[in-house]
Amino acid sequence: MLRNLNPHLAATQAPPVMEARRWIEGATFPEDRPLLNLSQAAPADPPPEPMRRAMAEVVLADPSVHLYGAVLGLPALRARVAADWSAGYGGTVRPDQVAITSGCNQAFTAVLATLARSGDNVVLPVPWYFNHKMWLDMGGIDARLLETGPDLLPDPERAAALIDDRTRAIVLVTPNNPGGVEYPAATLAAFRDLARARGIALIVDETYRDFDARTGAPHDLFADPDWDDTLIQLYSFSKAYRLTGHRVGAVCAAPARLAEVEKWLDTVAICPNGLGQRAALWGMEHLGDWLAGERAEILARRAAMEAGFAALSDWRLMGCGAYFAYVAHPFAAESDIVARRLVESSALLTLPGTMFGPRCEAGGTGRAEATLRIAFANADRAGIATLFARLAELEPDAI
């Protein structure tokens, strides 16, 4: 047993994706039934070749890419984010309201470091994104769990009842991880109004915004001239440009808050990855049409998922969008057992709802035990067809 172990860290759940990978360690799958990995929400392919060539040229030709850079990120990338966000959301975002981070998870942790300390609390909808919950647990910050309805949408009125004098923020993810649902603009505006009235922050994680099915801006929060007194937006370049290994994310917030973020970032990573930042900037400058094609493909996979579950009467699709389908399974066993048995019986790797919410005995509704997250962006349409062929083979009492 370890001595002198931080009890908050010890009580935090193990990394879910790493746990799921251990389920398949040493396992073998027949050639005619290979593993279909639907666990992790990440592109399976490298960046497009033109971007990789541009990255290679930067590595050879730009000595500054190998040196320490600005803690809050490459000025040109901050300016490009500000310009694109201003145009795309119909508002005003300045470069000094943008910081670049080593991935969106780091953006979240840096922002929380400016907002809350042990003993404070944050309102977190259920099902949650597990890394958000893990970070709160590590810091001794209480997650005030906001149960969502059958549509997986959070209710501002229910959230208001959870807020007290130690509440520091409300955290929303849209399109949602793990639920896939896209929050209506009116819902986001209502949460902004609630947060502003109660003097707390509204954190909106839009990691998957590039794959939103709606046309135009998904909300008008940036059109508010005083948006940065309440709103903190998070973003990831990883999904849009397949830069997961290069770790590039962004925060949009008040300059005074970013000055505090800078302190935290300087002690953790000093500066974001230089090559990844330049790749993200190159992608914003050159890959608009390519990204539109990526979005169209993800939306086609979403449609295939919706059609597939419509034909499976024993399964219920609760949410579907961006990279995810969140489904109620038909088995008597709890979801963590179901997920492991699906590997054995059907060569399907998914994540159980118990990784995204509390078990019933821990104060939840029982939804965690009854649900699975399926990251369908990891499978092409042929892979999705394989998924449904294997699910259709299962009898309700097979697991």
Which range is least confidently modeled, 154-168, 261-275, 348-362? 348-362
pLDDT at 363: 54
> Tokens in use for 315?
């399964």
> How confident is the model over 75-86, as pLDDT tens digits?
999 999 999 999
- Lowest average pLDDT, out of 41-45, 114-118, 275-279, 354-358, goes to 41-45
Rounded mean pLDDT, 51-71 = 95
Examine the pLDDT at 225 and tell me if it is beyond 90.
Answer: yes
Q: Which two tokens stand for residue 227?
A: 């948006």
d(CA 265, CA 274): 15
Tokens read off for 286: 């050159």
CA 246, 260, 251, 148 torsion-angle sign: positive
**pLDDT given at position 365:** 52
pLDDT at 283 over 90: yes
- Across 31-57, average pLDDT: 91
Write down the CATH number for the domain with range 49-286: 3.40.640.10
pLDDT of residue 364: 52
- The residues near 298 (Cβ < 8 Å, ≥ 6 apart) are 211, 322, 323, 377
The predicted pLDDT at position 252 comes to: 98
Residues of the chain with CATH 3.90.1150.10: 7-46+290-393
> Under CATH, which number does the domain 7-46+290-393 receive?
3.90.1150.10
| Residue 362 pLDDT class (50, 70, 90 cuts) | low
Q: Provide the terminal-to-terminal Cα distance of the chain, rounded to the nearest Å.
A: 35
CATH 3.40.640.10 residue ranges for the chain: 49-286
